[in-house]
Amino acid sequence: MLLWTVLRATISPLCDAAGYGQVSLQEQLSMTDQSNEVTESFYRCRRDGHFVDTFYDLFLSKSTEIAQKFLRTDFRIQKLMLRQSLLEMICFDRGMPGTREEIERLGRSHKELRIAPDMYSMWLDALCEAIRKHDPDYTPELEQLWRHAMLKSINEMISAGGSQESSGC
């Protein structure tokens, strides 16, 4: 699991950039005939290079329980993986083939991490606050589009992981 996590973090972005192996998520998105407002917002957010930093600052400040979950986390790797996950969630929302499996895997890995369903709403709030700070074209309507798109994956993750109570650790 650790090996997979490290490989996924290091190789996947490189493969995406180089275009090796399967068609990358970025290529899949650019091949779709219609541009999507959430996808465009994601790329605007990423422009200054600090979007994911802002997200984790906001998310970890939501509760001590959340901050404690990340006490031993290598954030260089974690931030790369989250950036990739956001792309996967956008692709899943757009019904791209092969994306459901990754979202389900994330749901199972978060069950193992004992992530309670109520923490996902704080995750989504932190994401939307980060979008508000980094997307110069942010509007409340755009936020609703983001929430709708992300909730599709979050619901899938929660059902793939099965319902559980907060671990309190």
* For ligand HEM, the closer CB: 16 or 33: 16
| Closer residue to ligand HEM in complex, CB, 135/156 | 156
State which residue, 36 or 109, has the beta carbon closest to ligand HEM. Answer: 109
Q: Do 64 and 127 form a contact (C-beta atoms < 8 A)?
A: no
CB of 12 to ligand HEM, least distance (A): 10
What is the nearest approach in angstroms of ligand HEM to the Cβ of residue 62?
9
Q: Angle at CA 157, nearest 5°, toward 65 and 38?
A: 95
Given the rule CB under 6 A, which residues bind ligand HEM? 5, 66, 69-70, 72-73, 78, 81-82, 85, 106, 109-110, 113, 115, 119-120, 123, 153-154, 157
CB of 33 to ligand HEM, least distance (A): 26
SS3 for 94? coil
How is residue 55 written in tokens? 């997200």
Residue 46: its H or E element = helix 37-46
CA-closest candidate to residue 46, choices 149, 119, 135: 135
